[in-house]
A = this chain, B = another copy of it.
Amino acid sequence: MPADGAAMKTADPELMRAINRFLVMDAIRRSGTISRVEISERTELSPTTVSAITAALLEDGLIVPRQVAPTPDQVRGRPRIMLELNPAAASVCGAKLAPNKITIAVTNFQADVLGTVSIPIRVDRQPASVILDLVEDGVRSCIEATGLQVEDINSLCLGVPGIVERASGICRYSPIFSERDLKLGLDLQDRLKVPTTVDSDVNLITLAEQWFGHGRDLSDFLVVSIEHTIGLGIIHGGELFRGANGLSPDLGDLIVSPNGSIGNGSLPGRLSGIASTTAILSTAADLARGTPQEKLLRGTRGMDHAVSLAQGGDRRIAGIFEEAGRALGIAIANLITLFAPPKVILAGSALQAGELLLAPLRDAVQAATPETISGVTEIVVHESSDDTWARGAAALTLRDLYGAPWGTTGPAKKR
């Protein structure tokens, strides 16, 4: 009757091999090009095991040997045979939905971007079928532009803002869709006949940071993405952290100013109502009601206008950024209190505002972080390009192809 709450995998030789195989793949990926001895040193696997595993990987075509021995320090002895990921082993496609843009990219097995397509179109509040049509077309043309066929693509990864259940490929809620509980994964899979995963857009950038960016060699950090929604990506213990149901948290739903708002029936003050690009721009536009600025602020380039207005001396617009920065800072401080990460990475289009947003943000973090852990966390800004999202999508997908036996990266701590 006890019904094992969390059924866990039993250990057998197969799991053993899967673990070590992943360790080897991970070592190769991290180094780009590496010899067997070095793999053995880094993974602390015996040379025998490394040789056996690399042999299997070569057999499977996942890695390729490279004759040149580009290490000038090692001159004597039998030259090391360098190994690297076989770029042609797989091709993956990543697509990211944003309210005013669809970004699509194709990468190879090394997460090199082979080609991108960016569709600047306002998908906001279109029916889901229309948006998926656009995605499908974009994916097809992006794939063909790189000289590949759709059948050559091993996996497709879709990133959307909002709340996503990765396991089922269901988008519970997204500001992009008016519908709820959309089975995006299955839908796209039916359309393109390519295995498809769906995840929160912020998880894409989080994975990208872990693999290629500021999060390299860090086993704990946070990513806060400030765009139409405010997303949170968490790497903890080397793994992507997900909510209990496998869904990604939405930072914008945090309450940051509860005062006097709960009791009287009005909605509590959520972060998304203060610090999202939507909130910032609509507040600014309301301020400018009736002036010629209003229309500009409500347009697609609204953020640019708001920033230049504030930089041009408009105290009220600057005040909006300031308040947004403060609210974000407090939310981030609360996250620091909970997670104590060594690094917090900020990303997203709202960062165009630069110090207008960042200065009050940093001040608020400073003031609101409990002194017991102040100073442990560094806040960095990452200007994300389309490539970043694409490589994140690739990372998210390639992990599966690498055969990671656990959810993301790293099973457990050291011994």
Contacts and interface: CB of A to CB of B under 8 A. Distances in A.
Interface of A: 2-13, 15-17, 19-20, 23, 27, 30-31, 42-45, 163, 172-173, 216-220, 232, 236-238, 241, 243-245, 247, 249-251, 253-259, 262-263, 268, 270, 326-327, 330, 333-334, 337-342, 363-364, 367-368, 370, 372-373, 376, 405-407, 409-415
A257 B256 CA distance: 7
A11 B2 contact: no
Contact of A268 (B244, B262, B367, B415): B367
* Residue of A27, A172, A340, A364 ringed by the most chain B CB atoms within 10 A: A340
Contact of A11 (B19, B30, B241, B341): B19
Contact of A23 (B8, B238, B257, B337): B8
Given A268-B367, A338-B232, A411-B412, A30 B10 contact: no
Nearest to A342: B244
A405 to B, nearest CB: 7
A187 B88 CA distance: 58
B405 A253 contact: no
A3 B12 CA distance: 29
B338 A249 contact: yes
Contacts of A245: 340, 376
A339 to B, nearest CB: 6
Contacts of A45: 10
Given A30-B2, A243-B340, A414 B9 contact: yes
A364 B244 contact: no
A8 B409 CA distance: 10
B414 A340 contact: no
Contacts of A367: 262, 268
Contacts of A330: 255, 258, 262, 268
Nearest to A5: B217
Nearest to A17: B11
Counted per complex, copies of this chain come to 2
A344 to B, nearest CB: 11
A23 B10 contact: yes
A407 B414 CA distance: 9
Closest 7 CB pairs of A and B: A243-B340, A406-B412, A5-B217, A220-B244, A6-B219, A253-B370, A11-B19
A333 B255 contact: yes
B338 A262 contact: no
Given A6-B414, A9-B415, A262-B368, 8 more contacts: A6-B237, A6-B410, A16-B16, A163-B372, A243-B339, A244-B339, A250-B372, A334-B334
A49 to B, nearest CB: 8
Contacts of A219: 5-6, 244
A327 B163 CA distance: 25
Nearest to A412: B406
19 contacts: A9-B412, A9-B415, A10-B44, A11-B17, A13-B16, A163-B373, A172-B372, A232-B338, A243-B338, A243-B339, A249-B339, A251-B337, A254-B338, A262-B363, A268-B330, A405-B412, A405-B415, A406-B412, A406-B413
A340 B262 CA distance: 21
Contacts of A256: 258
Contacts of A334: 254-255, 334
A259 B262 contact: no
A262 B364 contact: yes
A47 to B, nearest CB: 13
Contacts of A6: 219, 237-238, 409-410, 413-414
A326 B258 contact: yes
B368 A258 contact: yes
Contacts of A415: 9, 405
Contact of A16 (B11, B172, B173, B254): B11
Nearest to A1: B31
A91 B414 CA distance: 27
Contact of A247 (B15, B17, B340): B340
